[in-house]
Structures are given as structure tokens and as C-alpha cells.
Amino acid sequence: MTVAAASTSRKLSGYDLYRALGSPKTVVAPMVDQSELPWRTLARRYNADLAYTPMINAKIFVQPKFKQSAKDAQYDLTHGEEGSAVDRPLVAQFCAHDPVALLAGAKAIEHTVDAVDINLGCPQEIARKGRYGAFLMEDWPLIHSLISTLHEGLNVPVTAKFRVFETIEKTVEYAKMLESAGAQILTCHGRLREQRGQNTGLADWAKIRAVKEAVKVPVFANGNILYHADLAACLEATGADAVMSAEGQLYNAALFAPARPLEPLPSVPSTSTISDAELSTSETPIDHAYLEDLATLSTGLQPRHATLALEYLAVVRLHATPTASSAVKGHLFKLLRPALAREPDLRDRLGRCQGALFTASRSPPSDKLPAPHEPLEIDHPWPEESEPGAFADFARVCREMRARMERDERKAARAWTVAAAQEGGRIPDVEGLTPAHRALGAYTDQRTGVRVLPHWLAQPYVRPPRPEKGKAELAAEAASLAKKAARAEAAGKAAKAEEARVGEKRASAAIEVVVGEDESKRVRLDVDAAAKEGLEKMGYTQELSRSRGLLGILFMTLAIMAVPFGLGAPLATSLIGGGPATMIWGLVFVALLSLMLAFSLAEICSLYPTSAGAYYWTYKLSPTSSRVLLSWITGWMTLVGNWMAALSVTFGTAQLVVAGAGIYHPEWIATPWQEYVIFLGITGVAAVFCLFFNRHLPTIDIACAWWMAIGLIVMLVALSAEGRAGRHSAGYALGHFDSSASGWGPGWTFFIGLVGPAYTFGGIGMIAAMAEEVHDPVTQLPRAIVYSVPIGATMGLIFLLPITFTLPDAATLLAVSSGQPIGVMFELIMGSKGGGFGMWFIIFGIGIFCSISISCAASRATWAFARDHALPYAHVFARVAVPPMTKEPIPVNAFLLSTIVQVLIGLIILGSSAAFNAFVSVGVICLGLSYVTPITVSLVRRRRMVALAPYSLGRWGFLVNTLAVLWVIFEIVILCMPTVVPPTPTTMNYASVVLVAFTLFSAVWYVINGRFHYRGPPQVDDNHSPSPEMLFEKDKSDALASTSVTPV
């Protein structure tokens, strides 16, 4: 008797319901945007006995403002396929915190399902904000009301899925409460609410068994299912009536099917891009003994993942019910995951598939869905592959992947034949693997203990182990959580207090088990594995080596800022801009506003730590309709900004050489070509270090930090002790202001004096290009960005204060023929050429260090943009290689492109110094525009996407972001204005003209090339882009807490 038939007479309960469902043993879990109709259909073809819908928001079906299309996106009643005979048995899962709305929503679809489940297990931050899922665990009266309301008001039974508590006793008590409220089946997920993402860990089967033994209704076990063998192990260990799987089943749709030999390979498709030579060698027939031995690698069926992917697409096209493109993309990334790292071009193509699957005019498919025992047609192209739409793009990727995997499997099969024929080739070792198995590429991952299968087979993904913390860190965490619990208790927030107390106990217990002398190395490896996983979720492959921790990336940021160099090189502008008062208080003013910018960038960077930087952030934060164009514009602003910033440093260092020579030869005035030759030398030095000593760059940045620290101390002591040009009072050093040299009024003169600090702090966001070379970038990169500003401001004050107290006559300095008075200034203050040269040499050394670091950062920005097909010959500049003397891969071609562009633009100095200065000046302007674009987009969209950023600004976010945007806009105005008035052709600031020229170039290139090839960064997990229907009205958000699948 079916549930539907039974419901007309009486509502089934407990084991009557279980039997009516067919006494299921294997269950597909409810998963956001992943357990949709086609996936359920495919799972049933591979022995899934029961399936759950994705989580449904009850309010969608009761609030009039939501149209039918919004309701169908949650659960499609229009086409009549969801909940039809072929989609049964089926349980619909709802989330809610309002019993009335929950009942109304469930009533709308109860006639199409066998039961309604309440989500009490979602651990994501969005569930906390929406007040549902696992964040109702402490509100037992509300949970009881939700279940009992459904139990009394529905014509179908109600079930519940929940997570466990810290103790078995409380978990059992909780389960009994759910049973008493009316839940007829309990699904126990054996993990705590806090176990998610990198903290997922193992599910506790002992708690599931305790629940099973304590209640009288059927219990489904959820957690720790990777391979088919885990099904029987779980049933035995827990005593549960069935096993539910979420992520394990997503990576292998055939998880529930027992092992059997795979079908022989078909011929390679003619559409493959495999070469003729590869094609001829790949057609070698496969021995059936190989197929039988391959099946022994697992007790369950591990099909070829490309075959599964094509089968899924076949099911999608045979349904009239629309499937979201994001859902398809999410499934394909998981199914094909074992091979995507080997085939980065296919992963890139897959990431760029977007838009509607089919055209709006597409007719319903004429083909019928075959019965579960009948094969799906996947060997020949479908009609939809010749039509526009994302489906055709997905299909082409899957077919190409299938051809490549068949090629690889044939090669491996030949290796298997050789290994199997040798003596002992079929004898298993201690890990259960034979030499023939290992010839196929099978092995056991020593960190996880999980068997890794050949890369053409579907297999589970095991997250890297949670990074272990040191005793000091755990003790600090426990103390912090204890304080948090105390505050929550004082405020009457029992739920938060309980959560904090649980965390405190776990941290305290963990202190006792932290052992091992190589702990820091182990933690770093685990953190790098987590960072690699995060990068893959953003659509990129880990191609560069992670070699920088917090200090390494912080020191590189400070090297790029090069505070003494950045404030010393434009000394003339500071003097024109008012002198000592502007130098000191202008630095403080700019540092405070730059700190707002740093906070804003750090927040977004923690959410998306990739070398793509600002243009990736803009893409992710922008509305779908404008994200590609805004990302393109931001990317070009980032690229031009990096190139010109690097040029300004290397050429500024060259001009510093001229200033140093002027100490001993004041009569010498360098010609443009002499300056250019010196510039080439500086650029060459930076190139040698970046290309051939890349693995030593972190050490070079540390050396730069020491050089600056010691140099500042030396300068502070030396300049203060000598003061041969005279000493000034504190009133003069801190308050003297003279606007006569600028021609502007006092107010604008002060703002002109801000140019030096603006240039100095303008590069704080460039460090984002190094994200893929940083350990734990989610944490360390934001810290480096923020810490660099107060540290840089302090260094700036240490540098400027002795100068303002001993400053020579401003008119004398401004009269220096080279226009670079810093060398003469040091000579006058020290009272000797040798002393002046010593002070100059400190600044020169900082300039060299800065040239190396900033050239490295600019090359990474170039490489990232090329990787996303935004540059001409992108495939060339996106390559990484290992140059001689370098043991790490680096983007050599991108570095050469960045350097060549700077060298060519440097030629402009031979024709016009004013034009050259305009190009140099536009660097900080473009960087500012690239910074402000994602921040502005985030503000316009009410900061929804960054609300869950790891480095969150919280309630201060709107104020901080607004100040950052206003500062950048004002900074750009300052940088576009002439320093003195009235301007002459030589002193006129042409930065705005160059900015327009670069903008026009990017626009023209977009029309010619970009609109055909640039589709934005790859988006692996757009499957979690939320819709308004997903969220409660008071928490409509454009961000979810995790980019991984969300089992609910």
C-alpha cells in the first residue's frame, strides 16, 4: 500500500510509514540546489530507495508577493513531474520558524509527496540569521510546536532531520521530544552544529545508535558515507533502519549500487580534440580481466565519472521541469572533480558555462524517460547541443572529458596488463592493493586513510583534516569562549551561551592532546590544503607555491608601500603643498582614511582570496546583468594601476640615483636618455630577482623590513644629532604652513600636499595579487592589508619628524635643478656630502627592495587577468613555468609582459616629461578605481554579499565603506589636479587624459575581443546563489555561508 493510498483512510505512523515507503535502506539527503528532480531521478537508477527534495521555504507558498515562478523554483507544481509516480517515494523538506506559515506551505504540496520533513539540521550562518535549521536546537518548545502543528494539520506524516548535541544524554532527550511531538521518522545526522566546512570532522555513530535504541519510530543515519562499504558498516554500527547520504552521493551518483564490472569502452567520439596519434593508440581493446579487476577496488559501483555526467545531462533534457543552470554546474564539478585538476582547460570552460540551459522557445522533449533498467542515450549528440544555451556548453565539456578519460584509461589498462603479468602482480599488499592496481594509479591517502581510485572513476572527496592548533592558541580560544558565554548568559541569550560553553569545553579538552615537535609544519600543510580547496571552489587551480605567512605577506606589503621612499621621493610636492604641517598632519589624515579603505578591502579579500583580486570581487558582488562588464572595467583598472605603480617605483628609484649623484656633482643635470638607461638598470635588477630568485623573495621582503627599521633608527638619530641646516621649534616642525609656492589657496594647497601619502598608501590593495602564494589567505591576507597602514603611518612619522625639525630652507630645496631635492636636503642637514650620501643610500636601498616586490605583485595581477582570458594571447601569458635557479613555478610570460609594457611606456620620457609623469600618476588613480568599484557595488547592494565575510566589519561596515569610497573619489580629484597654478605645458597634470585613454583602449578591446572571449572569472559554485525564495523576509541576502554543498 502506498502512502498516498493510505492517507485517504488514515495517516501512517512509524513503521507503517516506513513499510509504505518500501522499507528503504538507501536515502538521498535533502541538499540545497542539488537534490533536484533530475538528480533524484538519476539516483533512483542507481539503487536509491527514497529521496528528499531540496529545502523549501514555507513562506514562498503563503506570501502573495511571490509569483508562481518563484514557487516553482522551490517545488514545481506547474509541470506535474515533481512528486509524480516516477518521483516517488518522495519526502519534501521545509525550513521555518513560524508554525502557521510552515503548515500553509506544506499544505500546498502535500498531495504530491509521501511525507513532509522539518529541517532542524542546517548549520550554515544563513540558517542562524533566518532562525531555522540547527539554530532552533535550543528552542525546544518552538520545535515541538512546528512538528505538532504539521502532525495535526497535514494529511501526510511529518518527519524530522536533526543534528546531535555534545552529549549522548541530551541528544537522546532531544530525539524523544521530537518523537513525542509527532515525528514519524527521525533522521539523525551524527555531527554537532559546529561541525561544518573545514571543521566537519567525523559523524558520531554512537550517538545515532543511542537515538535508535531510545525511540520507537524508524531512524535514518546520516554521516561518514564515502564508499558503498560504509552503508553496511553504518547500519551495523548504528542499528539504523536506513542510511542517508549527502556529499558522498553527490560525488558518485551510483554510491548505493553494488560493485560490478564496467561496460567496455566505446570508440573515442569524433568531436574530441585529441590528436590523431593519441587517437590511434587509444583504440587498443581493453581486456575484460582488467574490467573485472577494476571492480575489486571497491565493494560498490564506481562508474566512469564522465559517463555519469552525461547520464545526468540526459535526464535533465528529458524533463520538462526547468533545472537551474547553477544546479547542473554544481553537479558536474563534483562528478568530474577527480579529473578537473588534470584538465584545467575543461575546468575553466565548465566554470564559464552560465545562463539559461535552453532557449525560452524550446519545445518539451519528445523522448520519454527510459525505465530505470533501460540505458540512457549518451553516445550520440542530442539535438539541444546544436542550439544556443548553457546545456550545449555543458554537454561539450562532458563529451570532451569522456574522450580524454577513455584515452587515459586505455593507456592505464595497457600498464595494468604488463603489471598483472608479472610475478606477484595480482597479490594485494597490506593496503589491499595489488601492483596491477597501483599501475592504474590507485593508492591510499596516508593523511586520510581513504583509498584514491584511478582519476577517470567517480569517487568521494575527502576534506583535508582540520588544522590542529597549538596549546597557546587553544587556551586563548577557550578563554575567549568562556568570556563570550558569560556575556551571553548575562544578556539572557541561553542559546549563544550554550554554544560558547560547548566550544570552550572542546578547546580545553583539545589542549591535552596537542603533541608533536613538527606541529607547526603539520598545521601549515593542512592550512595549505584548505586554501587549495577554497581556491578550487572559486574556479582556479593551485599553480603557484604558497610560501608566505602573515609576516612574509605583511613585510611584502610594507616593501610595496616603501614609506620612506614613498614620502621622500615626492618631497618637492610636499614642500609646495605647505611644508611641515602638511607633511605631518597630512600623513595622519591620509593614514586614517586609508585605514578605512584597508578595512573595506580586507573584508572582501577574506571572502574571495584569489590573485584575481578586485575584478573577481566585483564580479561576485555585482548583479548578474552587469557583472561581466563591471569586472572587465575593474580588471583593466587593476592591471593598468599595477603596471603604472611598478613603473613609478622603478623610475622613481632611477631619479633617486640622479639625486644621489647630485650630492657630489650638483652641476650635473641628467638627460632623459640617461634617466631612461638608469631606469632600465633598476628594472633589470628587479627582473633578475623575480625570475631567478622567486623562492627567496620572502626572505628579501624580511631583509627589506629590517633595512627600513634599522635605516629609520639611523636617520632619526643622525638627522636629529646633526641638524647642520638649523633646528626648528615644535611649533614650526608640527605647524608651519606656507602656501606661497603652489599658487593655490591655503585649503587646496594642503590637499596638494597629500599627494605623497596618497601615493604611499595607494598600493595597499596590490598585495591581493599574491593571495595564491599565502598560507591561510582568508586570515592572513586581510590582516596584512590592515596592519600595514598603522605600521606604515608610524614609520612615516619616524621618518618625517626629524626632517621637519631640521628642514633646510624650502626655496633652496625647490630650486634643485634635477627636481629631486632629497639628496641635497640630506647633505645640508648632515653638513657633509658623505653624511648626506649615507642618508640617501638608505632611501635608495628601500627603492630597490620596493622595485622587486612591486614588480612581483604586478606580474601576478597580469597573470591572473590573462588566466581569465581578458588579455590578447591570454593562453600564452597565463602559463606558469620554472625558470633556471628557481624551484617554484612562476608566471614567467606574464612577468615579461608586465616588464615590457613598463619599458615601452618609459620611452615616453625621451619625448615629454609631462606626458611621462601623467602615465606614472595614473597608476594610483587606476588602483583607487579598482578598489572602490567592488566596495561601491557592495554598498549599493546593502552589503549583503559581505555580511558573512570571515573578516567582517559588522555594524560598522556601512560607515567604513562609505568613508573609503569618499576618500578614493577625493584622492582621484587631487591626483588629477596640477601642483602649481597657473599651470604651464610642463607643469600641467595630464593624468586625467591618460586615464581616459586607457579607458578607451579597454572599451575598444572589449568590443573587438572581450565580449566574445571574456565571460568573467570561472564560477564553480554559483549553485549557491540565493534567490529571495530561499530566505526569510527579514533576512533576504545575496550571500550564503558556504560555497560547498549544503546538506540540510
What residues contact 251, with CB distance under 8 A and at least 6 apart?
334, 335, 337, 458, 459, 460, 461
Neighbours of 833 (CB within 10 A): 15
Spell out the long-range contacts of 889-894 with Cβ–Cβ below 8 A and sequence spacing 24 or more.
889/543, 889/544, 889/545, 890/544, 890/690, 890/691, 890/694, 890/859, 891/544, 891/859, 891/860, 891/862, 891/863, 892/691, 894/859, 894/860, 894/862, 894/863, 894/866
Of 323, 850, 138, 216, residue with least CA distance to 564: 850
| Cell triple for 175 | 530525539
Alpha-carbon distance values, 833 to 817, 818, 823, 850 (Å): 17, 17, 9, 25
CA atoms within 13 A on the CB side of 438: 16
The helix (run of H) or strand (run of E) holding residue 161 is: strand 158-163
For 96, counting Cβ atoms within 10 Å of its Cβ (0-12 exposed, 13-18 middle, 19+ buried), the class is buried
Quote the distance between the C-alpha of residue 727 and its chain's center.
Answer: 53
| 103 three-class SS | helix
Beta-bridge mates of residue 187: 161, 220
| 436 three-class SS | helix
Residue 358 DSSP label = S
Clarify whether 234 is annotated catalytic.
no
Whether a cis peptide bond, with omega within 30° of 0, leads into 883 is no
- What is the C-alpha separation between 263 and 256, in angstroms, rounded? 18
| Cell triple for 218 | 524508524
Contact yes or no for 262/307 (Cβ under 8 A)? no
Runs of H (alpha helix) within 941-1043: 957-976, 991-1005, 1011-1013
| 180 three-class SS | helix
Spell out the long-range contacts of 998-1001 with Cβ–Cβ below 8 A and sequence spacing 24 or more.
998/636, 998/640, 998/922, 998/926, 999/633, 999/636
- What is the C-alpha separation between 321 and 82, in angstroms, rounded? 8
Whether a cis peptide bond, with omega within 30° of 0, leads into 89 is yes
**Of residues 122, 234, 398, 926, which has the active-site annotation?**
122
| Cell triple for 435 | 601492483
- What is the C-alpha separation between 9 and 3, in angstroms, rounded? 10
Quote the distance between the C-alpha of residue 660 and its chain's center.
Answer: 45
Contact yes or no for 103/62 (Cβ under 8 A)? no
The residue type found at 638 is: T
Neighbours of 434 (CB within 10 A): 22
- What is the C-alpha separation between 858 and 876, in angstroms, rounded? 17
Q: Which residues are catalytic?
A: 122
